[in-house]
Amino acid sequence: MSFGTVPVVGVDALDADSFILDVREQDEWDAGHAEGALHIPMSEFVERFGELTEAAEDGRRVFVMCRVGGRSAQVARYLVGQGLDAVNVDGGMQDWEASGRPVVTDSGAPGTVV
């Protein structure tokens, strides 16, 4: 399955070791996110791109997530164009939460997807 030239996977393709990049905005992140995800809002992505390349320097696949998959598809397409192994997570955090995967706040408390 693909979104244009970007591979697309569902949340079921992610495991505990998957490298997740969350591109939602700060208020969405604060409400709840996948534990261990790297947060770089799409609105800040170009200026903070170095944070991602540093975190993903081992060359592992980057699973890009947003709320449902639109913003993450755009970022994943950009990353693929930059030569990174990136995929868009279809359904994003909504499907993550619906599948029963944990959503947490920065303090580790249960969170929610907004």
Which are the catalytic amino acids?
Answer: 66
CB distance 61 to 18 below 8 Å: yes
Rounded CA-CA distance 105/100 in Å is: 16
What do you get for the CA distance between the two ends of the chain, in Å? 26
